[in-house]
Amino acid sequence: MIIIKSEQEINIMRESGKVTGLILRELENFIKPGISTMDVNEFVEQTILKHHMIPTFKGYCGYPAAACVSVNEEVVHGIPSKKRILKEGDIVSVDVGCTHKGYVSDAARTYAVGEISDEAARLIRVTRESFFEGLKFCKVGYRLSDISHAIQTKAEGEGFSVIRDFVGHGVGKQMHEEPQIPNYGKPGRGPRLAKGMVLAIEPMINQGDYEVEVQLDNWTVVTLDGMLSAHYENTVVITDGEPELLTL
Ligand code: MF3
Ligand code: CO
């Protein structure tokens, strides 16, 4: 069942999303060569706590940190470490979740560490653009897979591939609610979008093949071919008119 949120619930999610979005914006200046992925995590956790909110990820299914920090061929769920130092030319995806008055916001960005290659920059840009292609279908009357199809069309049209094993999701009192939102598929399938649905739409796009595997830490997802991967996510509200992005 897809849970429809009331205006009152969306107001709370808006406050939560504002903090998640703010953190991701501040990371643009924070991320630079020489810092560790744990430094990124500590910045995220301290900022969430400063706003009297709860880091949603910490303790979720045993996950040990406030943020997922995934470098280069790491796709998602990278566990922060003091030993993992970001270096010039890396790309790094940071995924943040924040709980406020019982409601979750969830968003992610991929950042350049110093100067990066043109191809890496193109991957980051296309991943972001594929989200906004999907967003065009986040309107009452479209079906869920119209979003999926638009994301896939953009990413594959640029020569990249779409991860199959991880998907977007509904979000609310739980981080992961129905529906699941694949970033690929035929259009015109699945439930019709309705006012008050809140969706975490999150393309995960690979430079090479879409196949991934989970590392021995049981969390970190990496590309099978070792090529780069990027992630871009926002928490989106379906309204009467244009979709509202809570985490921008
Ligand atoms: N934020 C991720 C998602 O978009 C999930 C994070 S997994 C956790 O679904 F364990 F770190 F919480
Ligand atoms: Co998510």
Q: Are 58 and 65 a contacting pair, CB within 8 Å? A: yes
Consult the annotation and say whether 165 binds a ligand: no
Closest atom of ligand 1 to 65 CA is 11
Mean pLDDT score across all residues of the chain: 98
DSSP letter at 60 equals G
Residues 169-205 pLDDT 10s: 999 999 999 999 999 999 999 999 999 999 999 999 9
Give 13-50 pLDDT, tens digit per residue.
999 999 999 999 999 999 999 999 999 999 999 999 99
CA of 90 to the centre of ligand 1 (A): 22
Q: Say whether 95 counts as a known binding-site residue.
A: yes
Beta-carbon contacts of residue 203 (< 8 Å; ≥ 6 apart): 127, 130, 131, 134, 151, 155, 162, 168, 183, 231, 232, 233
How far is the centre of ligand 1, averaged over its atoms, from the C-alpha of 95 (Å)? 7
Distance of CA 77 to the CA centre of its chain: 11
Task: Please count the CA atoms within 13 angstroms of the CA of 151 that sit on its side-chain side.
Answer: 31
Q: Report domain 7-245's class.
A: alpha beta
Question: What pLDDT score does 175 carry?
Answer: 98
Instruction: Please indicate, yes or no, whether the overall pTM of this predicted structure exceeds 0.95.
Output: yes
SS3 state at 33: coil
What is the best residue among 41, 70, 93, 106 to mutate for testing ligand 1's pocket, by most ligand atoms within 8 Å of CB? 106
**Is residue 61 in contact with ligand 1, taking CB distance under 6 Å?**
yes
List the domain boundaries for the chain: 7-245
The residues pairing with 204 across neighbouring beta strands, listed in sequence order, are 231
